[in-house]
Every structure is written in structure tokens, then in C-alpha cells.
Amino acid sequence: MITLHGFAQSGNTFKVAFMLRALGQRFETRFVDFMHGVTRTPEWRGATNEMGEVPVLDDGTRRLTQSGVILTYLAGKHGRFLGASDDERFEALRWLFFDNHKLTSYFASYRFMKAFGPTAPDPAVMAWLKGRLDNAFGIVDRHLQGSTFLVGNQPSIADFSLSGYLFYPIEESGYDFPSRFPQVGAWVERLRALPGWADPYTVLPGERIAPKW
Ligand SMILES: N[C@@H](CCC(=O)N[C@@H](CS)C(=O)NCC(=O)O)C(=O)O
């Protein structure tokens, strides 16, 4: 049995859930109470992930962390979404690394501060993050001009990775990417139409929380 550890607000967990569903794989979820600091406890880090992060995937006795590693593992195991050639596989990994550094990390931080942080966001920090986001979304938008998916003509691990946070309500981040980056908006709609897609709040465990700020 496959177990996916995570929580509803975690787009990094959703990347994996979406791909598992697209692969038609059954899995169970295990709620991790990130909002109350569980991933920061020595107990959780000792027992589950020394890096203090979800998602964590258990596939039988194998435990994996880092969404990019998990997506790559699942793609190899099932022979899907990895890319059709060596060039495509390297290209998919290139976008995965870009995502982890430049898109998901900034978007997740921006949304967390805007919606779920313990105190009101600092405008200077938000302005800096928004500049980083504008740059990253601009790069993806240009890349998607004239291409259906990020790599080749088929969905790949790159699509699951970069889109993970983009299916949550816009009001959580306040970052209206579909209006400002129409190619990204149209690509997200194409992904939403793939078999297996479902709303993160129906797929992942934990309570939905109204944006705080
Ligand atoms: N690069 C990691 C990022 C994972 C990550 O940042 N997860 C968040 C939740 S979405 C987390 O567990 N953060 C814990 C913390 O920062 O304390 C991945 O792709 O899996």
C-alpha cells in the first residue's frame, strides 16, 4: 500500500497526489499537522523526515521525500510522465529544479504569509517575493507560448511539479496569475482537465482554512 503524508494546504503534497491519481494508483493519506508545528518537532523529524518536510511517500518499505524525487520515482516505476527520450527526461528535470528553487518555493512562501501566517505579512517582504514570482511566472509563460505542456506534447513530472500550488483558490495568495500570465492560466486549465485531477481540498487530509490576511 502507498501512504502519502501531508496536509490539505500543501501544494507539494498535492503534486504527488495528482500524479498518483493520474497514474490510477490507489493510496491512503496520513495527516501531518504542519499548521501546529508537527514537522518542526524532533520526534517527527527523527521518525519520519529529517528534513522536516512533507510530502513523504511510503511505498511498501521504501520511504521517499522531496516531491521531485517522489515524482521521478513514480514516473520510473510506472513508465509514464518521465519524458519520451533522454533529452526530454533531462528537460523535465531542468524544470523540476527550476520549480523547486524559483516558482513553488516563492509562491508557497507568498501564499503562506498572505493566508496562513501567524502575523500580518510584512509589505516589504511581500513586495520582494512578488518580484521573484513575477520573474518566474514570466519565464514559464513565455515557455508555454505555442506548447501544450512544459516538455514535449505530453504531460510530464514537470507539469505536476510546477502546477502543484496553482489549483488553490486565488484569494489564498492574492496573486492573480491567470490574468497576468494567460499562457500559464490556460496550461493550468489543461492540467485540470486531465484524468485524475481533483480539488486539493477534497483529496488531501486536513481542514480548509480561510485566508487570514
Ligand atoms: N522541496 C520540497 C519542499 C517541501 C516543503 O517545503 N514542504 C512544506 C509543506 S508544503 C513543509 O513541510 N515545510 C515544513 C517547514 O518549512 O517547516 C519538496 O518539493 O518536497
19 C-alpha to center of ligand 1: Å?
18
Ligand 1 atom nearest to CA at 66: 20
- Report pLDDT digits (tens) over 52-97: 999 999 999 999 999 999 999 999 999 999 999 999 999 999 999 9
- Report pLDDT digits (tens) over 133-175: 999 999 999 999 989 999 999 999 999 999 999 999 999 999 9
Helices (H), 10-103: 11-22, 42-47, 67-78, 86-98
Number of domains in the chain: 2
Cβ of 10 closer than 6 Å to ligand 1, yes or no, is yes
The Cα–Cα gap between 153 and 150 comes to 8
Which residue range forms the structural domain that includes residue 153?
Answer: 86-192
The Cα–Cα gap between 104 and 209 comes to 20
| Residue 102: how many other CB atoms lie within 10 Å | 18
Whether residue 56 sits in one domain with residue 94: no
The answer to whether 69 and 97 have CB atoms below 8 angstroms apart is: no
Closest residue CA from atom 13 of ligand 1: 53
Q: Domain holding 65: CATH number?
A: 3.40.30.10
